[in-house]
Amino acid sequence: MTVSEAMEAIPLSRTVLKSIRSAASHERQRAMRDLDPYDYVACWTEAESIDGRDCDALVFILATKGCSWALRSGCSMCGYTNDSSSRATDESIWSQYQKATKNLKDQRVVKIYTSGSFLDTFEISHQLRTKILSDLYPRVDEVVVETRHEYITEKNLADVLQFRQKLMLAVGLESSNDKILNYSVNKPSNYAHYLRATRTAAEMGFRVKSYLMLKPPFVSELDSIEDAVKTTEEITSYTDTVSINPTNIQKDTIVELMWRKGNYRPPWLWSVVEVLRRTHHLDRRVLSKPTGAGTIRGAHNCGKCDDRVMEAIADYSVHRDISSLEKVQCECKSVWKSELAISELSQPSYPADYRMKIAKWSGSIAGI
């Protein structure tokens, strides 16, 4: 039985979902930090590839009012409400942008993160969106913006149609399995919504980058690998790039709550390598740039090989040379394989186990 077949057989009640969303909302309230609306959150340069050639990308995070879903409940792993400002205005966000782009020199790519959605007018108005993209368009070869797929509509895309040649829309799908989306990730949308949004983007000439979550809560290491590979294979017709994002422990989230109680471990770096290796044959760029990798809160191995494995993942993500992944080895790989083998042996009870984990966890958090 595959992970998708198993999960489709799981009866989960609205009460369980309500408990999960209540806990997410509770953690979000703890996370509410109000940043200076005139200062960007972070800015850095990283290695990138465009048209098969190496280049640099300028990346910056703008402090907007925050993700509208996170302010109501929020995804189980996302703590980016810590990077928002309730006092943000068009004027203050433009000031942040101007400060960040002082670091733009010979980078060919710019990635704009808002800890929410660039296409959500609650965060970035139509006018400011146009102003930012108009300023960047003649200066770089590619602009990447993040957005929830609910905001990829004909109306929103029509507003930025003039920039489509250089604009890439980065979308958090996480999984093609709706039960994982609803119960493990606490997404307010499903796979069908993603497909509809990406079809709209393609029809209007926009490119799409899809984020997939490796090891959502309540899903074993083995099943998370299988789900990431399956999802990547299913979406190749709907996306130009796939980014494998191993879960990291962010502050004031359901995942952090589970981690502190000893009920969650971030994925192994070997699992990232495995997903990249098994999707190498696809005619889409599949990459991974793990956040917090090599630390106790991020994807990690034994500690001795983490740097070497992260370098291999980074090299593959830019050059797509499979030998980068194949040549890195460590004794701890056998421990990782043993963990996968144990998961495989317990596979027949997986649906009941998944249901039990969620029911137990939702019961324990119901009184928060």
Residues 27-46 have pLDDT tens digits of 555 555 689 999 999 999 99
Q: How confident is the model at residue 21 (pLDDT cuts 50, 70, 90)?
A: low
CATH number for the domain whose boundaries are 3-365: 3.20.20.70
Q: How far is CA 187 from CA 173, 240, 267, in A?
A: 9, 22, 20
What confidence score (pLDDT) does residue 355 get? 59
> CA 78, 88, 211 angle in degrees (round to 5)?
30
42-56: pLDDT as tens digits:
999 999 999 888 999
Q: Whole-angstrom Cα distance, residue 287 to residue 317?
A: 4
Of all residues in the chain, the percent with pLDDT exceeding 70 is: 85
Rg (CA), the chain: 20
Token representation of residue 281: 């044959």
What confidence score (pLDDT) does residue 337 get? 96
Q: Check residue 80 and give left, alpha or beta (phi > 0: left; psi -120 to 50: alpha).
A: alpha
Q: Whole-angstrom Cα distance, residue 210 to residue 207?
A: 10
Question: Span 145-150, mean pLDDT?
Answer: 95
Q: Whole-angstrom Cα distance, residue 285 to residue 99?
A: 32
In degrees and rounded to multiples of 5, residue 244 shows phi and psi of: -85, 115
What confidence score (pLDDT) does residue 348 get? 47
Q: Whole-angstrom Cα distance, residue 75 to residue 184?
A: 9
Q: Which of 65-74, 154-163, 219-228, 302-311 has the weakest average pLDDT?
A: 65-74
Torsion angle, alpha carbons of 138, 129, 105, 319, to 10: -90
Residue 15: pLDDT above 70? no
Q: How confident is the model at residue 115 (pLDDT cuts 50, 70, 90)?
A: confident
Q: Whole-angstrom Cα distance, residue 241 to residue 206?
A: 12
Number of other residues whose CB lies within 10 A of the CB of residue 283 = 5
Of all residues in the chain, the percent with pLDDT exceeding 90 is: 71
- Quick check: pTM over 0.85? yes
Through-space distance between the first and last CA atoms of the chain, rounded to whole angstroms: 35
What sign does the dihedral 158-160-165-169 (CA atoms) show? negative
Give the residue, 6 or 54, on which the prediction is more confident. 54
Q: Whole-angstrom Cα distance, residue 225 to residue 18?
A: 27
The DSSP-derived string for 263-299 is ---PPPHHHHHHHHHHTTTSSSEEE---TTTTSTTSS
Q: How far is CA 343 from CA 89, 235, 262, in A?
A: 49, 26, 18
Question: Span 321-327, mean pLDDT?
Answer: 96
SS (H, E, C) 5-16: HHHHCCCCCHHH
77-99: pLDDT as tens digits:
888 878 889 999 999 999 999 99
* Residue positions counted in the chain: 368
For 261, counting Cβ atoms within 10 Å of its Cβ (0-12 exposed, 13-18 middle, 19+ buried), the class is exposed
Q: How confident is the model at residue 252 (pLDDT cuts 50, 70, 90)?
A: confident
